[in-house]
Amino acid sequence: MYFSRDNVFYLNGKWLNATDAMGNLFSQTLHYGNGAFDGLRAYATNTGPQIFKAKQHFDRLHYSASKMSIDIDHTSEDLIEIAHQLLSKNRLNNAYIRPLVYLGADTELSETKEVFLLMAAWEWERYLGSDLLKVMISSYEKPSHESIPADTKIYGHYTNSILATMEAKSKGFDEALLLNSDGYVTEGPGANFFYEKDEVLYTPPAGDILPGITRATVISYAREIGYKVVEKQFTAEELVDADAAFFTGTAAEIAGIKSIGGHDFAMDWEDTVAYSLFLMYRQRVVNNEYRDFTLV
């Protein structure tokens, strides 16, 4: 449920009730998909909600918007403050936060000056759920960074993502994994991808992926506890011999994968390095036990 009668959101300096929301039906964003967004998560702690890597997410929102020549007249620090007010006004502790930049009316395919910054929050279970996932290699290709800047959360990417997820679901899978035009694995429609082999983790390099904030966090946790992480290109065929695989993302957190293309991974999820990282992430980020950290 994205909003209820009582839900309040932020729009260009004002706090509005969700049921009073109005938009311009001639928005360039609605017609042509010009805009940017991001997704953050807040977790309950003894001292109130903590937002996971808030500055990095809002800096990325600025970066994504700048790639479309859109100026956001709020600093990342302003946006962090607004996010905290948003949580408090909606009495949310564990929540997903969606800042979204959209544009005014324009029928041209060029820069539009009227910019709207919306921020909403709602309770949201882990995107991709908690069960191990059945994944298929998508027949849709991930756009190359030469067609759409890969390191941004601009809307164009998500047309491709929706097509890939819809295809996977229609074929009885939970999620898709996309290859680039050279046949190398890139990422899921809304999350980064890792596989594990002989206690080493492999993940596609920056280039045709969104190099996620969770991906960077997981890489640093793995290295901290002595595991090697290799960023390299690999094909779907190489996954047949993998011990395990998982997706990472702010909304998905760490989501384990059961099978790819109907082929189950050899190891039990609970016996993998990936699972240790899953527990570590849960303890540090989800349960916010940064200081008292011990690996379960």
Choose between 134 and 153: whose C-beta lies nearer to ligand PMP. 153
Options 81-89, 164-172, 243-251, 273-281: segment touching ligand PMP (CB under 6 A): 243-251
User: Which residue has its beta carbon closest to ligand PMP?
Assistant: 212
Minimum CB separation of residue 214 from ligand PMP in Å reads 3
171: annotated active-site residue? no
Choose between 16 and 118: whose C-beta lies nearer to ligand PMP. 118
Give bridge partners of residue 246 from the DSSP assignment.
194, 256
Choose between 74 and 98: whose C-beta lies nearer to ligand PMP. 98
Choose between 8 and 234: whose C-beta lies nearer to ligand PMP. 234
Neighbour-count burial of 190, counting CB atoms closer than 10 A to its CB (0-12 exposed, 13-18 middle, 19+ buried): buried
Joined tokens for residue 252: 């998905």
Task: Tell me the number of residues near ligand PMP by CB under 6 A.
Answer: 14
Minimum CB separation of residue 26 from ligand PMP in Å reads 27
Q: Does the protein bind ligand PMP through residue 160 (CB under 6 A)?
A: no
Please pick, from the candidates 39, 99, 204, 256, the single residue that binds ligand PMP as defined by CB under 6 A: 39
Joined tokens for residue 146: 């030469």
Minimum CB separation of residue 125 from ligand PMP in Å reads 16
Please pick, from the candidates 49, 99, 143, 212, the single residue that binds ligand PMP as defined by CB under 6 A: 212
Q: Which long-range contacts (CB under 8 A, 24 or more apart) does 25-31 make?
A: 26/105, 26/106, 26/107, 27/102, 27/103, 27/104, 27/105, 28/103, 28/104, 28/105, 28/106, 28/107, 28/108, 28/112, 29/102, 29/103, 29/155, 30/102, 31/107
Please pick, from the candidates 191, 222, 255, 257, the single residue that binds ligand PMP as defined by CB under 6 A: 191
Binding to ligand PMP in span 117-146, by CB under 6 A = none
Closest listed residue to residue 54, CA positions, set 128, 102, 124, 121: 121
Minimum CB separation of residue 217 from ligand PMP in Å reads 8
Residue 15 CB neighbours (<10 A): 12
Q: Does the protein bind ligand PMP through residue 215 (CB under 6 A)?
A: yes
Q: Does the protein bind ligand PMP through residue 64 (CB under 6 A)?
A: no
Closest listed residue to residue 242, CA positions, set 184, 193, 179, 196: 196
Supply the angle between the helices 213-224 and 54-67 in degrees, to the nearest 10.
Answer: 140
Q: How far apart are CA 172 and CA 165, in angstroms?
A: 11
Q: Does the protein bind ligand PMP through residue 190 (CB under 6 A)?
A: yes
DSSP code of residue 225: T
Single out the catalytic residue among 134, 142, 153, 197: 153
Please pick, from the candidates 68, 132, 154, 210, the single residue that binds ligand PMP as defined by CB under 6 A: 210
Residues that bind ligand PMP (CB under 6 A): 39, 153, 187, 190-192, 210, 212-215, 248-250
Give the residue numbers annotated as catalytic, written as ranges. 153
